[in-house]
Amino acid sequence: MKIFENFSLKNFNTFGLDHKCKIFIEIEYPEEIYSINKKFKVSESKFLVLGEGSNILITKDFDGFVLHPQFKKIIQTREDKNNIYFEVEAGVNWDEFVRFSLSKNLGGIENLISIPGLVGAAPIQNIGAYGQEIKDVIELINFFDFSDNVFKTYLNQKCKFEYRNSIFKQELKNKILITSIELKLHKNPKPNIDYTDVKNELRKMEIENPTIQQVSEIISKIREIKLPSPKEIGNAGSFFKNPILDIKKLETIRKNFGEVPFFKLNETSVKIPAAWLIEKIGYKGKSKGNVGTYHKQPLVLINLGNATGEEILNFANEIKDKVFSVFNIELETEVNIL
């Protein structure tokens, strides 16, 4: 392990905000967590597990411990007629693992390509995109519980996965460190092309029976067009969740605003784009001081150069208030606020 004091987190959050933490600990092996907990009494202190910081808004200095997992093994654990199972450690880059699975023609996560962050963070908010969610391929999750000072394993059903949510974001928030997850990938993948953008691109390319590699490449290009690279513009991707509404609420909005894009979840509920709501209130490409929304995708809040975390949070709250006043819909943040 490596230990740093009064450490800047600027390179560990994709907004590029220069806040510091009291102590920063790089963990090279899961077994080191025992001694870290014993030495620093982490369970009795404030601590934060931080990977690449692609889903966090840091608004102030953190007077506690930041734990940064570095373990990066990928191990094939078993195989059956239809699937291959991998244990993937927390420090593995998520996008690199997606591309690894594509190289082996294994399906189940191909639509989750180009999502930034590490594997350990992926199940916490149940990452999803273009009709796929990580919960659909997770078999189990291994983690260290600081309260009990012990490693534990939860099967999928115990993780309470929901849309951008899990037990790790609720009851176990700030109590555990995920060390690895086991994923079930399919040997005979069937591409998921339910989203309109994907269908349109396939039609343009005159592809009727796409491979998962073709679908994945299309999604990667769509994301590249819609979303700015954090290396060029500070951002944390989608700042808000897409709200889920019942059909009656959708019809009310339609009466006032005409056609509304939506994705049907079941007979009684739909998911509508938060980006559409934000654009309708006039905040697409809008800026205020050092913060704004991305001109191609208003769901993305951007650091225009010298924004503070507090500035970004205030701008986000301004958007939430405006959406609520116009649509009576309360936007929820997808990004974690520190």
- Backbone conformation region of residue 185, classed left if phi is above 0, alpha if psi is from -120 to 50, else beta: beta
Burial group, residue 209, by CB count within 10 angstroms (0-12, 13-18, 19+): exposed
Q: Pick the catalytic residue: 101, 180, 216, 238?
A: 238
166 included as an active-site residue: no
Q: Which helix (H) or strand (E) holds 12?
A: none
Contacts of 270 (CB under 8 A, 6+ apart): 244, 245, 246, 247, 250, 262, 263, 264
**What is the SS3 assignment for 299?**
coil
Length of the chain: 338
**Catalytic: 223?**
no
Work out whether strand 56-57 and strand 336-337 pair parallel, antiparallel, or are unpaired. parallel
Q: Which residue has the tokens 């116009």?
A: 326
287 in active site: no
Question: Active-site residue among 164, 180, 182, 216?
Answer: 164
Alpha carbon distance 195, 112 (integer Å): 13
Give how far Cα 49 sits from Cα of 77, 90, 225, Å. 26, 11, 30
Give the tokens for residue 167. 């037990």
Catalytic residue IDs = 164, 238, 334
